[in-house]
Structures are given as C-alpha cells and as structure tokens.
Structure 1
C-alpha cells in the first residue's frame, strides 16, 4: 500500500488523460432489508458498499493506488494511520487534486458538493455575488430553516470563525471559507457514507458530520473538512410490537438519523404514541443529541433520549456498516448512547421506545422587576421557584426559564442593569390536566401572590404531547456569534439543602448583576415512570440531577476578538461558583463550555476511561473529532483567529503539541 503522499500525488497530468471518469458508476449494491435481527433496514440502508463493489471499482479504474483511496480499513491501513499527522487543507501538497474529487463524486452518484459559505452571495468579490439572493438570505438569517437547508452552515457561527455573515450580523466586511468545510456529501444511502468515511480516512482528511447544524459548540464545522450531511435521511417506521435484544417488548419507532424533533413528535402522535426528543424544533434526533444523552421535556417522566434506544445502525470508522444492540456490537451500542457524538461512527438510524400517548399541559408566563414591589421581591419570587424544584421534578414535570436584566427581556444588557426579568418559556406537565397542573403550581404561585408579583400564566392543554409542545415551543432565533455559554448540572442534594439552594439563588443574582444571563431547567435524567438503564454511557451525574443551568455572556456583532476572549474567560471562571456548589456533578456536553476545565470528567465522568479505550479500538486514526468529544485531548485546532488553540474550528487540525 502506498503512503498518503503517493495517494495524493498519483493523479498526474498523464494519468488524468488516460483515466476517464465517465465510465464510473455509483459504487453501491442493494442487499436484503434485514440487519441480522430486527429492525429491518430502511431502503437507503440497503444500498451498501461491499468488498465486491470495491473490487468492481478497482477493475473500472485500472489503477490500484486510486482504488485504494476508497478501501475499507484493514490491518495495514489501520496500522499506518495510527501515526497521527496534521490534516491537509486546500492548497496543500497532500490535498487531493480535482481529478480525485471527480472520481469520488462519480462513485457517490453525483452527491458531492463543493461548498461555499451561505452568505457569500452578499460579497462582491465572490463569484456567487447576487444582491437579490443576499437580501433573501439576510431577511431569513435568524431562522433555523435557512441553516438546516445548507450543507455546511451552522446555527452558532462563533465556532467557524465569525466569517462571511451578512450585514448587520458581520464582524468584518470580508468573506472567507473560514471553518465551513470545503466539500460535503449530501447522503442518501449508506454506501455514500461508507465511501466518504473511507476516502477521508485513507487520505487523512478532516471529517465532520452535519444533520441540522444545531449545536452549541459548532461540531459540524471544520476548516478544510469533508462533511457527511445526513439531513435527508428521513425514513421512519412504526412497530406496534417490537422485541428488543435487551428484553424490551412493546411498541417502537425506527427513525432515520436525519429526522428532527418536530418530525419525530408528529409521527409518534400519528401512531398514538409519544417519544423522547429535545425541546427545540430544529434538533436532530439521531446525531449528537442522543449520543450526548439528550435531555427532553419528557425526561423527568421517561429519562434521557439515550435511554430510549433499542438498536442502531452505524457506519464505523473502518467503513463497515453494522447493527448495534445489547447483543450485536454491544460496545458500540454502549458508547453511542451517551458517550458523545463525533466519536467512532455515523449513525444512520435508531430504533426507540414508543411511549404512551400523554395528555400534556404547558404553562407560559413572565414577570419583570416592574411587576414586583422591589428588586428584593423580584428575587424572592425567583427563590420561591427554586424551593419547588424537587416537588416539580418528582411530579415528572420540566421547566425551561430565562433570568436576566434587559428592557427587551433577552439576555442581560450590561453589568449593573436592574431591568430584571424572569421568563418561563414553558413549564411542561406530561400526563397532567390543567387542574392538576394548577394544583402543583399553587405553592409557588401563592408565594408570588403574597409578594404582590403580577403575572398572567397561559395554560395550554392537549390530549397528546405533540399538540401541547408545538404551541409552547416556537422556533428559536439562531445565526449570530454574540454569545458564549457554560453550564452545570445541579444534583438533588443542592435543593434539599437550604444553604446550597440559597447559594444557588444568590449565584443567579450575582451572575445577572455582573452582566451575565441564566438559562435554566428543572429536569431529571431519571424519569419517574421508568428505571434508568445501566448499560449506556450517559454521564452518571445526570441520574441525580434536578437542574441543568446555562450561564452566558454577550457582546456586539462588531466586538473585537479581544472582547470575545475576555468575555469567554469570564463566564468560564464565573461558573466556578456553581462548580463549587456541585463539585461532584458535571455538565451536559451538548450545551456546555467549549473550554470547560477538566472536560473529560465534566462531560463523561467515571465512564471516560472506558470511552477513551473504545475510541482507540474503533477509531485508531482519530478520524472522528470534535473539540468536546472523546479523544479530543489528543488533537488541537491551530486556530487562525486571534484566540488560543482549540477555541474554535477555524484552523488546521493537528496532533496535540508536546
């Protein structure tokens, strides 16, 4: 087997003339729709890359060196690739020449996209400049739908380098590729994923996976990367009676990994059930959400998204397509349920428990300091909510709230602003009527009344979860680069202790007074209706959690990188307050601080040694990478922006400097 240098340089001018790509066809074969055990494969999963298909590719190419670029990993390639080296980028000597990309595209069946930043149409020095299209994109820039439909755009562009944003959201007047990947594969079959995985691994390319781009830390970005775009893997199937390998017998639903929360909820309703999914409309069910544990408005009732999974289909780093369950590839099954995304493979589908149809009540309201007699009364009203967390979680409910200081009731305008507000985005009471929900809320609301707080709760009820959820959780604004967050999980012991609970309340007030904002949840990772599984990689701290707390810092669109660095460090350091209140807990990796101290312990806890060992076993070359993922400590992003290394994805990915 030739080395990476020979693989990259093999397409000389004479070879390009001799090799016709016109004779190449899409590299795939159709197999029977079985996976060795239930569930049946989706139609796109039956289109696979096999050794015989690759043999045909090699025969068509009549060039073993080029053909080997698409091979599955074997002992020799795995051994060679373990010697980590920096990932090549466009313009490098080792970057594949156009002919190789053309061959790759032919084998993919034409699904390769040479990407451009979404807002490049707004910049006259780009060939794609189009003022009319720019106006349309700018008008829709804060909508998740716009970024979901693009192969590389992400919803939090801070982590791709703040480049190529439309006015007025742009930091600079220039547009560069930044950390938007160079190429994307719009996948519609397992074979295409396998080809992309093999191609990236064999040529040492940086590889990222994108579904929607909804990620707090920009995992779907990567300078010079190849993207596997799973967004359109949308098949779904209902099993009225499913017998899982772990002994579960009951209704289940199999979802393609491109299915989003709103689609999952709607489909579950149509077959008379509910499923666990995220609160936000745009979340993709089968990617980093479930892999990271996945909290939900239904978690206090039924646990985390990772707890629901009965089987998965996965393309591993060696390019092989497998089924994972408690009996088939159990190590993979354990790892991909809570061990984080971007670790050892690409999930193509997952089968989850179909939960009972749930009548659901949601409650939405807000109050500001102007609705109270004084700032002390405002904060006493907030403290009265914290006093009820244990009762609320033990009733199976979920609350999603904001606290800050702003006349607009968004974020915190500046340190010292006293325009305090509390906004209950939604209090979710599954399996409860309006009357039952009012009875549960009565102790808190009675306290609000005694404090002379003015508030007007809106009660929304439906006989199923989806109809209640869709009214209470509108699509959130995205697309800006002006926020940095950190988070902490707070265990039951904090709320059982008057002292620790009061410390938490005081911390919220201090955060807001220092110019930060708070996004919080009362939630449990241990649902009251089920026993949590003991065979997945969910952060153990989730099992005793009663609250997930996010604290954030803000700046302006035109703020300098120095301001961002200072603000980022401030929120990370401020979070020490909550780390000290809950020192033995952790943080939810999907909504966490990119520069979290001791992130392996914070995100993975006692599971980390096993997770790291499995990472080396199933992905020895480090093909899959994210800044917060298992094995991230072995690599660094040599950031080209004026930030420390690995503070965003806008830089070359290299082995960690010694």
Structure 2
C-alpha cells in the first residue's frame, strides 16, 4: 500500500473494482432493548463492520468506517486522524473521492445530501438557479422555519461567512459555499450517526451537528465539513414512574434529540405536565441548548435545562453508542449537562423530569420616551425595574426585555439617538394566579405611575404553562448578518448593592447612548422549587444570577467586513463595563461573545480544567469542535474572510501550531 499521500488514488481504483462485482447494503444491526427508541435500536456493530469488510475485500476502505479502538489504532486511518493535522478540504489530495462518498451513502442507507447554500436558487451561476424558488425563499428568509428545514442553513449567517444570502440581505452579488457544510446526513438511525462519526474521525474531516441552526455562534457551520442533521429525531415517550440512577422516582419524558421546545411543551402539556425548555420556538431541546446549561422561562422555578436530565443516549467520538447517567458513564453525563455542545459526542435522546402542571400568568407591555415626561423619567423607569429584580427572581418569575433607541423600537438606530424604548417582551410568572402576578408587579408599576409613564400591560393567564408560553413568545426573525452580541451574567450581589445596581443602570444607559442595544432576562439558574444538582457542569455563576444581559451592535446588510470588525471589537470592549461590575461571574456560552476574553473561565468557570481533561479522554483527535467549545483553544479557523482567525467558521480548521 502507498503512503497516505497516495490514498485517494488507491482507494478510487480499488473501490471501482469492488463495486463492479459486489453489492453493499446499509450497515446496521437491530438491537433488542426496551429502553431505546426504535431508531436507536438500529445500530452499527462490529459484526456489521465485518460484513462490510468481507464485501469490499479492501482493508483501507473498510477501516474508514471502523470504531476507534486498540485493534485499529495502528492503521493508516487512525494515524491520519490522531496526527492532529489540518482538516482536509475539497480539492485536497486527502479529500475523499466521489466513490468513497458513494460507499458512505450506501452504508448509511442513502441519506447523504450533497448540499448547496439555501439561497443558491437566486444565483444564475449555480445549477440550482430557479427564479420562482428564489422568490419563495426570499419571501421567507426571515422565518426560522425556512432555515430549520434545510440541512445546513443557520439562522445567523454572519458565522458562516455571509457567503450566500438573497437580495436584499446580501452584501455581495455572488454566492459561495462558504462555511455551509459540503455534505450532510439526514439522520434517522443511530447507525447513521455512528457511521458518520467514524467516517469523519478516521478521515480527519471537519464534523458538525445541526438540529435547527438556532445557535447564536453558528456551531452548525464549518467550511468543508460533513454535517449530521438530527432534526427528524422527533420521538417522544411518557414514563409515568421513572426510576433514575440519581434517586429520582417520578414522572419523566424521553425526547429524541430533534425535538424542539414547542414540541416538548405541547407534549408535556397533553399529559398534564410541564418541562423546562427554551424561550424561543426554534430551540432544539437535546443539543447545544441543554448541553450549554439552558435557561428557560421556568428556570427561576426549577433551574436550568441541564438540571432536568436524568439520563441520555450518546454516540461518542469513538463511534460507540452508550447510555449516560449519574452511575453509568457518569463522566459523560456530567460533561454533557452544562459543558457545552460540540464536545465529545452526539446526543440521540434524553430523559428529563416531567414537572407539575403550572398555572401561569404573563405580562406584556412597552413604553417609549414619548410615553414619559422625558429622558430622565424614561431612565428612572428602567432603574425601577432593576430595583425589583431580586424580588421578581425570588418569586420564581422570568422577564425578557429589550432596551434601545429607535423609532421602530428595534435595536438602536445610531449613537446619540434619543428615541428610547423599553419593551417587556414577556414577564412570565409560573405557578402564579393573575391576582398574585398583579400583586408582585405592583411596586414596580406604582413607581411607573409616579413617574407619569404611560403603559398598558396585557395579562394572559391559563391553568398551564404551555398556553401562556405560546402567546408570550412568537417566532423571532432570523437569517440576517447585521448584529454582533456579547453577554454577562450579573449576580445577586450586584442588585443588593445600591452602588453596583446604580452602576448597572448607568451602564445600560451608556450602552444605548453609544449606539448599542440590550436584550436581557431577569432569571436565576437556581429554581425556588428545587435544589440544584451537584453532578453536572453548569457554569457555577448561573446559580447566583439575577439577570442575563445581552448587549449588541448593528450594521447594514451591505456593510463591509471592516465595519463588522470595528463593530465587533467595540461591543466586546464595551462589555468590560459589565465585566468590571461582576468580575467573578461569567457569560452564558450559548448567547455569548465569540471574542469573549478568557472565554474558558467566562463560559465554564471552575469546571474548565476537568472539562478539558475529559475532552482529551473522550475525543483525543478533536473530532468535535466549535469556536466557543471546550478545547477550542487547540484549534483555529483560518478564515478566508478579511477577519482575524477564528472570527467565524469560513476557513480551514487547523491546530494552532499549523
């Protein structure tokens, strides 16, 4: 056999010979196990791989799909990945030939998709050009559904390189593949996940996982990547008396990792229960949301999404399919509940606590500077909200608010704009009646009244959480590349100190006056109804948080990369104000700054050394990567855009020493 440099040629010739005389079939085995979903019973096994090898009669090709273990650790494929070399790109000598991709497609049952950017229909130089389809895509471009239903599109294209957007959202007149993955597997079985993991690891391919593409930092993007698309793993099962390894006994629900929070909420409600999930309709329950901790409208009552997980099914980086719980594969269980997505494996399902049915009340309202006697009264009204954060969180409530300066009440139009607005997107009071909610907000509203603020609160009450949530959180607009955000968690101590609380209020005003906007939440990661678990890796700062504050900068669709770089640096630097107010806190990794200083400490806190050690143990070749994930400091994205390395995913992924 030739060396690795000649691998592509050898494989192509050998494979062509093999395919002319044999017929491959999907590589999977049905496993009997009552605790698994039907798609989890279809697994890749050693015996299935033996059958593949016997059919192909080609050790090199067969080894591309093998598990990582002692028996193949000395193989060419294993050496190829363990070397920690740059990930190959199309056109490279080490990029798999079309015949290899054909074999892969056969083994995964024909689920391989040769992808294209979603907006390629709008560009005449693409074979897919179709003016009618382009018109439809353009009309729906800001809808989450459009991007969720595509195997590689992400909702924030800034992080794939802004390479292919329809007019009027594009800044160039061209469409490039950018950081949209080259291939995607539409996952319907665990065997497909295992084959994709093994194939990517053994051939040292860049590998990403997508459910919805909601992630704020574009984790599902990767130039030259193979993606797995878990969106249709939608199975759900009610477990009325689940006995968890951690001692919990009671109702639980098992969800496939493609289930979104609206589906989880709807299913739980149909059973007379609630579950902890995200605020936004598009969030996927079982991926980076829960892995990153996951704040929720129910967090101040029941804690983080990661706190609810009782067990999970996972395909690890070595290709093995395991169950993880507090007693079985407990290190994996600890890491994947708070240690972030894209770390050591792919979750295929998870069992979470089914919480009681909750009477819930919401309050929605807004006011602008025009509804006040003037700017001083407006900012005094904002200050009064901060004065009540501790009481609101201690009552188990959650508030989602926007503050900016723009006559359209979206973002901030420009530095110095005084068209101030405050928008309470939704104040959620779980386990509270309408009367109890009104009593809770009365001190704040009394202050607004004393300031002569004109506002009209709209209350919504139901005997369950789901019906209130549906009305409180409509689908958000996505698909643009005109915003860069940073965030900070501010702890209880800030709001117990008049000095620090006033500094926070002054920082809010300064941000808006300098052209930034705020999107924040009053929320705690420690629910008033439960004690937080001690066996997960949620950022410790969450446990004492009173508010999660997002600060953002904006530009135009046609802005140059120079403008984006300047705006990005500005919001990162401005956030030092909040970092100084809460120096010992951190930031929510799933809604944070890609350029966060000391991001390991900010996103993971004291958990990071253990997380990093487990990353090396369970994913020694660095198969799983994201710009903000555990171990990200070992790699860099050599961006093709005129930006510093690792500012988005549009570039070759290499070890930092390359």
Please say if 1:73 is aligned against 2:68.
yes
User: After the TM superposition, which residues 508-547 of structure 1 pair with which residues of structure 2 at under 5 Å, given as runs?
Assistant: 508-547=508-547
* SS of the residue 2:155 aligns to: coil
Q: Distance in 1 between matches of 2:571 and 2:651?
A: 24
| Deviation of 1:4 (Å) | 4.7
Decide whether aligned partners of structure 1 residues 99 and 80 sit closer, same or farther in structure 2, where only a CA change above 3 A counts. Answer: closer
Report the equivalent of 1:234: 234
Question: Greater CA deviation, 13-22 or 268-277?
Answer: 13-22
Where does residue 498 of structure 1 map in the other structure?
Answer: 498
Report how far residue 15 of structure 1 moved.
4.2
Counterpart check, 1:42 vs 2:37: yes
Identify if the C-alpha distance between structure 1 residues 21 and 184 changes in structure 2 by more than 3 Å, giving closer, same or farther. farther
Q: Give the equivalent residue in structure 2 for 1:459.
A: 459
Contact 1:260 1:284 in 2 (8 A): yes
| Cα distance per residue 1:351-406 (max 9 Å; x no partner) | 00000000100110000000000100000000000000000000000000000000
**Residue 359 of structure 1 contacts residue 462 of structure 1 at CA under 8 Å; is this kept in 2?**
yes
The corresponding residue for 2:269 is 269
Aligned to 2:104: 104
Whole-angstrom CA distance in 2 between matches of 1:3 and 1:629: 33
Q: 3-state DSSP class of the match of 1:192? A: helix
Tell me the TM-score normalized by structure 2. 0.98
CA distance in 2, matches of 1:335, 1:20: 46
Match of residue 217 from structure 1: 217
Residue number in structure 2 paired with 1:363: 363
* Secondary structure at 1:553 match in 2: strand
Distance 1:278 1:22 in 2: 49
Decide whether the 8 Å contact of 1:7 with 1:69 is kept in 2. no
Distance 1:409 1:439, change over 3 A: same
The question of whether the paired residues in 2 share the 8 Å contact of 1:235 and 1:255 is answered with: yes
| CA deviation map 1:596-652 (0-9, x unaligned) | 000000000000000000000000000000000000000000000000000000000
1:383 to 1:220, Cα distance in 2 relative to 1, 3 A:
same
Alignment RMSD (CA, Å) = 1.2
2:591 corresponds to 1:591: yes
1:362 and 1:428 in contact (8 A); partners too: yes
CA distance in 2: counterparts of 1:568 and 1:2, whole angstroms: 48
Q: Contact 1:8 / 1:203 at 8 angstroms: preserved in 2?
A: no
CA contact (8 A) 1:85 1:654 kept: yes
State the Cα distance separating 1:83 from its structure 2 match: 2.0
Mapped to 1, the partners of 2:20 and 2:365 lie a distance apart of 65
What is the match of residue 447 of structure 1? Answer: 447
Q: Is the 8 A contact 1:372 1:454 kept in 2?
A: yes
After superposition, residues 422-433 of structure 1 pair within 5 angstroms as 422-433=422-433
- 2:301–2:528 Cα contact (<8 Å) kept: yes
Give the distance between the partners of 2:20 and 2:107, measured in 1 at CA.
13
Task: Spell out, residue by residue over 1:261-317, the C-alpha distance to the aligned partner (whole angstroms, 9 max, x if none).
Answer: 000000000111000000000000000000000000000000000000000000000
Deviations 1:12-54 (A, max 9, x none): 34641442387111110100124xxxxx100000000000000
- Inter-CA distance 195–7: structure 2 relative to 1 (3 Å threshold): farther
Deviation at 1:62, TM superposition (A): 1.1
Aligned positions of 1:143-154 closer than 5 A: 143-154=143-154
1:348 alignment partner, SS class: strand
Q: Separation in 1 of the partners of 2:321 and 2:628? A: 25
2:213 match: secondary structure? coil
- Once the two structures are superposed, the pairs formed by residues 299-378 of structure 1 within 5 Å of their partners are 299-378=299-378
CA-CA distance at 1:6 after TM superposition: 5.0
Aligned equivalent of 2:56: 61
Shift in CA distance, 112/500, structure 1 to aligned 2, threshold 3 Å: same
Deviation string 1:108-128 (CA, Å, 9 cap, x unpaired) is 000000000000000000000
In 2, Cα distance between equivalents of 1:512 and 1:50: 57
TM-score normalised to structure 1 length: 0.98
Residue correspondence of structure 1 range 270-289 to structure 2 within 5 A: 270-289=270-289
Is the 1:2–1:65 Cα contact (8 Å) retained in structure 2? no
1:550 equivalenced with 2:529 (yes/no): no
| 8 A Cα contact 2:206 2:653, kept in partner | yes
Mark the runs of 5 or more structure 2 residues left unpaired by the alignment. none
**In the alignment, what sits opposite 2:559?**
559
Work out the CA distance in 2 between the residues paired with 1:170 and 1:280.
Answer: 26
Query: Partners of 2:319 and 2:562 in 1: how far apart?
Result: 42
Any idea what SS the aligned residue of 1:11 has? helix
Corresponding residue of 1:249: 249
Query: Which residue pairs with 2:93 in the alignment?
Result: 93
CA distance in 2, matches of 1:20, 1:346: 35
Q: Residues of 2 paired with 1:642 and 1:96: CA distance? A: 29
Q: Distance in 2 between matches of 1:98 and 1:48?
A: 25
Residue 7 of structure 1 deviates from its aligned partner by 4.3
- Distance in 1 between residues matched to 2:178 and 2:253, nearest whole Å: 39
Is 1:389 aligned to residue 389 of structure 2?
yes
Partner of 2:351: helix, strand, or coil?
Answer: strand
Give deviations 1:435-483, integer Å, cap 9, x for gaps.
1000000000000000000000000111100000001100000000000
Q: Is the 8 A contact 2:22 2:55 kept in 1?
A: no
Distance 1:370 1:327 in 2: 58
Task: Answer whether contact 1:7 1:203 (CA < 8 A) is retained.
Answer: no
Question: C-alpha separation between the residues in 2 aligned to 1:22 and 1:436?
Answer: 72
For 2:115, the equivalent position in structure 1 comes to: 115
Once the two structures are superposed, residues 548-571 of structure 1 have per-residue CA deviations (whole angstroms, 9 ceiling, x without a partner) of: 000000000000000000000000
Cα deviation 1:312-340 (Å, max 9, x = unaligned) = 00000000000000111000000000000
- How far apart, CA to CA, are the structure 1 residues paired with 2:459 and 2:20? 66
**1:634–1:277 CA distance, 2 compared to 1 (3 A):** same
Corresponding residue of 1:29: 29
Q: Secondary structure at the match of 1:23?
A: coil
Following TM superposition, by how much is the alpha carbon of 1:235 offset from its aligned partner in structure 2, in angstroms? 0.2
Structure 2 CA distance for aligned equivalents of residues 282 and 191 of structure 1: 26
Residue in 2 that maps onto 1:186: 186
Cα contact 2:22–2:56 (8 A) shared by 1: no
Cα deviation code 1:236-260 (max 9, x no counterpart): 1001110000000000000000000
Aligned-residue offset at 1:9: 3.5
Instruction: Give the structure 2 partner of residue 259 of structure 1.
Output: 259
Match of 1:417 in 2: 417
Cα deviation code 1:59-118 (max 9, x no counterpart) = 111111100000000131567633200000111111000000000000000000000000
Alpha-carbon separation, structure 1, partners of 2:246 and 2:612: 24
